[in-house]
Structures are given as structure tokens and as C-alpha cells.
Amino acid sequence: MRVSSPTERRLAALGPRLRRQLERLYGSTGLAIWPRLEAILRERAAERPAAMAALDEARLADPDWFVAPDMLGYSTYVDRFAGTVEGLIGHVDHLESLGVRYLHLLALLKAREGDSDGGFAVADYLSVEPRLGTMADVERLAARLREGRISLCVDLALNHTADDHAWAQAARDGDPHYRAFYHVLGDDEAQAYEADLLQVFPTTAPGNFTHVPAMGGQVWTTFYPFQWDLNWANPEVMLAIVDTMLRLANHGFEAFRLDSIAFLWKQLGTDCRNRPQAHYIVRALRAALDIVAPATLLKAEAIVPTALVPPYFGADEGSDWDGGFEPECHLVYNNSLMVAGWVGLAEQSAALPHAIVAASGGLPRGANWLSYARCHDDIGWGAVIGDLAGIDPDPVARLTIAAKFLDGADGSWARGEPFQSDGSVLHGSNGTMASLAGLEAARTDEEREHAFRRIALLNALSIASGGLATLYMGDEAGLLNDHSYRDDPDRAHEGRWLHRPVMDWDALDRVAALRISGDIRALRTARIASGGAGAPATIATSTSALLGIACGSDRVFLNFSPHAVQVGDLAGWHDRVADTPIGDDAMIGPWSVLWAGPSA
């Protein structure tokens, strides 16, 4: 009889939830792997460092620890921010100066030689990209971040590996065990699947399959040809990824960004996105973490219509929370709110931001949105087409107008560029926050002022809507589009490098950075004062340009138009940003935010 340790107690309590997922996925074969999976859980638990075990206990006592008014995130490539992990340790003070409590590092793990899709073609999940440092450096960084109450997040690209991953190399060399880690199809079978699949990179990587002679067939490659989709119908893949994830958690990572999880399960005759089995896979990962490393968060990178998000938090298919709930992810990207913010600017209307804030309510306990204005990816238009179905008679036409505006058409102040298209089709838009908001195009003081306000407006949408609001590196400094990628043979084809500039540390004491960072700090301070965090709610307003959000004790108004508009009677309320009382006939300026707290 084992001494009852916290892990043993959690294994006894949560093991059934994990076994249920295995049975749903693999039937009796799933239960046959249980002894091996149980051994992995115990081995990894035995290795869990004391500091992480202590964090486990603290967070079990406070499951909403990350749904907090002062939670603010930051996402960056290590090399573009600080060169190396060691260099990053030297810049943690910058993160602390912004009030950051969550740090997502991109392209940290060892990536494929050459083009690696920005680090998302992983060659070894368990080692750090050598030019960035070592896992020992990461453990020192994680310890430094914990001192500052900053949680370290890393991408777990579990839909695919690089084609030079050891598993792929073994498969290529004929090892049947690792060949079964991937999908290898005949031409006709691949064609049958392809008929229902969408394109992620239609311009740079058309199709979802790549003929690999050494594999003797068509390998499933949803993304780039060098990103081989893992075969999650194979329980050996589950064992390998659970072990990988727990080893990484023991190195000090407190959150995993689960990349592309909408694509995990393949089913003939479907678009192979958002399948029920994809959720069972993630719920198995969640159960394993809850047993061994409960301090650790899972964040779903599921770029899907808002209506398809609840199962990624754990709701049963199509049911509300009462209809059944199994924990899946703690955080889900609110991609639709990000897109809606940009559409709001383009349309000079709060209509879509209002609709998405209203659709983002009703979260379960221990869950929150990951809210953001920009990230390392494009503004993807596809998911919001789904959100607009039923609201708008022609979503594609409407979003095409917004996309063209953001790509700079018709005298627009935006300086974005089409992604995966020449602008003739609707796919995505690239650009840094400052360039998209008009700071690049601004030539007069008023144009610069309005650009600064539009940046603050979208940061306010992300912060006031209660999510784990996450900044993308350089946006706090107003960095503009970086066109240098066009001269790099490994990057020239990949337009998203436009909005992935190298950090300009000298810019931090210039006007743009001081204004933008100052606005961010003011919004974060206001949210802390409001006590607001978690699911957002809307407030009715007097005009379609004006969005109202309830945030804790406060009322936050966002003006998505270039004209001053009336807010209404706010007598007895206090402007938390300007620190002035607000009257009974409040107005809000062009592109502005009015954050109203109850008078003391």
C-alpha cells in the first residue's frame, strides 16, 4: 500500500476522469495503456521540484488565482526581446514595470533547422533552442519570474512536430513504432480527406498533405510541409506528450499554450476541426496535470467562432455549464474580441465589439479569456465569419471592407498588409498594433494623438473585458511594421514577420512608448481598483459608436468613432484615469476611453 501522498490522493480522485478520456478515445486499448500512464504520472510526480510542489498546494487552495484584476500578460520571442534566455533575465524589470504577471515565450524549444514556422516546428520538446540557452537557464529564469509573481508560459505545439524531430527521423528510417506517430495516407485517401479540409496557409503552403518518399505516401501536414501532424488516434502519442508536458512542468513552466488544438483529431468527411475527440485529448492532458502539477495552466489556442469555445473550457458539446462539465483549459484566446476591436475601429462602430463582449459571458469557475489586441500571428478573419453568421447577411463582404481598411485602402490611417492573399480574398491581415492603429501614417499632432487613443482603446477593450489581457512585445513601445524580413531568405515568404520587430530598447524613453505604456499602466491600475476580472458584461449606451463594459465596480466606455459622443448621466462617478469627478452630462472624446468608478 503506497503512503498516501498528495499525488496519490489526487491520482485516486482524478484517475477516473483521466481513464474516461482514454476509454472515449481508444476504447479498451486506452485502458490497456493505463498502467504505463500511471507509472509516468508517478515518476514525474516524484521528480517535481519542491518549489513547484509548493505552488501546487497554494493554487489548489485558490483555483481562481489567475482570474485576478492585476493579471497582465506579455508575449514575445526570446531572441527578438533579449537575444537569449540569459538576456531576458536582465529585462524582467521591464516586465515588472508594466505590472506583467504572465510571460509567454515564443520559439523557446529546439526548433527545426532552417524555416521552423517561427518556432512552431519543434525538433525537441525537451530542450531549449541552443542559440537561446539551456534548460538550466530557463529554470533560473522561471525562479526569477516566480520572485516577481510572473508565471512562465511556453508553447506546446502538440498538433505536429518538425520533420527533423527524432520521432520523424525514426519514422523516415522505417521504424514502425514512430511511423505510427504520424498520418501516412495513399493518394486517394488523402484526396478523400482533402475534399472537406480548409486551408491555413493557402498561398505559402496549399493543401494539407505532403508526399514524402521516405514515408511511402502522403504525410498529413495541416500547416507547412515540414510540420507533420501527430496521429492522436495512436495512444502511444498520448503517452509521449503527457510525459513531455509533465517534464516541462517540472522545469518551472506554469502554463502551456496548446497550439492548434482545434486540429488534433482527424475524421473523414469533416473539416477535421473541433472534433469531440480533440476535447477528450486535452481533458486527458488536463487530468494528468491536475494529478501531478496542478499549479499549471492550459491555454487553448483555438481560433474558432465564440459559439465553439465553451467545450475548450470543458463544457459538454453544445451544453451550458449545468449540462455537464469536465475541466479542459483554464484559458482560451478570445480571438473574436481581438478581431472585433479592429473591425470596430475600421467601421467606427461598437456594434461588433458589443456583440462579442455580450457573447463572451458565462465562464465556469477557474477559467478566463486570454484577451489581447495583437499577437505574433495575423488578424485571422475566418473565425469571426462564423460569429457573424446569423447576425449579418453577408459576413464576408462586411469583413472584407474592414480588412481592406486595415490594409490601408481608401485613405485609411491603417498600415496593415494582407496575409496569405493579395488582398483579393479574405484570409488575414498583418501589422503591428501601432502601424494598424495609424501611428505609422500619422503626419500631424492630431493624427498622432488619435493613433495613441486608438491604441489605448484596444488595450482598454482587452483589459476592461476582464480577461488575462496580454500585450505583444513592442506594442507597449509603439513599434512599427518591420519590413526587413523580406531580405531574409528564410522569412521572405512569411508575412507575419511584419509585426514581429526586434525590441527597440532605446524607444522606451521616447514619446510614443511613454504615452502608450503610460496608458497601459493607467488602465491596469483602474482595473485593479475596480476589482474586475473574469467574464465580461455589456452596459447599454446611447449610440452605436459607444461600447459600455461593466468591469468589477466600474463602468468603462469606449468610443469607436472620431467624434465626441454623449455618455449620459454619470453624476456620482469618478474618472479613474483622469482622477476627476464625472458630471451628469458626461461626454467622451474621439477614440477615447472613459473609465468610471463609483465616487469614494
Residue whose C-alpha is closest to residue 294's, from 600, 578, 14, 598 = 14
- 118: contact with ligand OTU by CB under 6 A: yes
- 157: contact with ligand OTU by CB under 6 A: yes
Q: How far is the CB of 159 from ligand OTU (least distance, A)?
A: 7
Look up 301 and say whether it is catalytic. yes
Tell me the sheet residues that pair with 372: 470
Residue indicated by cell numbers 524582467: 92
Q: How far is the CB of 43 from ligand OTU (least distance, A)?
A: 29
Kindly give, in sequence order, each residue whose CB lies less than 8 Å from that of residue 274, ignoring residues fewer than 6 positions away.
Answer: 262, 302, 304, 308, 311
- 260: contact with ligand OTU by CB under 6 A: yes
> 392: which DSSP letter?
B
Q: Which stretch binds ligand OTU (CB under 6 A): 258-266, 401-409, 569-577, 585-593?
A: 258-266
- 303: contact with ligand OTU by CB under 6 A: yes
Task: Count interface residues toward ligand OTU (CB under 6 A).
Answer: 16
Residue pair 30/287 in contact (Cβ under 8 Å)? The answer is no
- CB of 40 or CB of 281, closer to ligand OTU: 281
- 120: contact with ligand OTU by CB under 6 A: yes
- 139: contact with ligand OTU by CB under 6 A: no
- 290: contact with ligand OTU by CB under 6 A: no
Q: Classify the phi-psi angles of 310: left when phi > 0, otherwise alpha if psi is within -120 to 50, otherwise beta.
A: alpha
In DSSP notation, 281-328 reads: HHHHHHHHHHHH-TT-EEEEE----GGG-HHHHTBPTT--GGG-B---
∠233-163-487 over CA atoms, to 5°? 135
Q: Which stretch binds ligand OTU (CB under 6 A): 42-50, 61-69, 376-384, 536-544?
A: 376-384
Q: Please give the residues from 167 up to 206 whose contact with ligand OTU meets the rule CB under 6 A.
A: 200
The rounded distance, in Å, linking the Cα atoms of 377 and 380 is 8
Q: What is the pattern of x (binds ligand OTU, CB under 6 A) and - over residues 201-230?
A: ----------------------x-------
- 368: contact with ligand OTU by CB under 6 A: no
- 310: contact with ligand OTU by CB under 6 A: no
- 494: contact with ligand OTU by CB under 6 A: no
The rounded distance, in Å, linking the Cα atoms of 301 and 316 is 19
Candidate list 139, 301, 326, 417, residue with the active-site label:
301
- 381: contact with ligand OTU by CB under 6 A: no
- 314: contact with ligand OTU by CB under 6 A: no
Candidate list 137, 139, 254, 259, residue with the active-site label:
259
* Other Cβ atoms within 10 Å of 424 Cβ, number: 7
The rounded distance, in Å, linking the Cα atoms of 17 and 40 is 16
Look up 317 and say whether it is catalytic. no
C-alpha neighbours within 13 Å on the C-beta side of residue 61: 5
- 416: contact with ligand OTU by CB under 6 A: no
Q: Which residues bind ligand OTU (CB under 6 A)?
A: 117-118, 120, 157, 200, 223, 259-260, 262, 301, 303, 376-378, 380, 428
Which positions are annotated as active-site residues? 259, 301
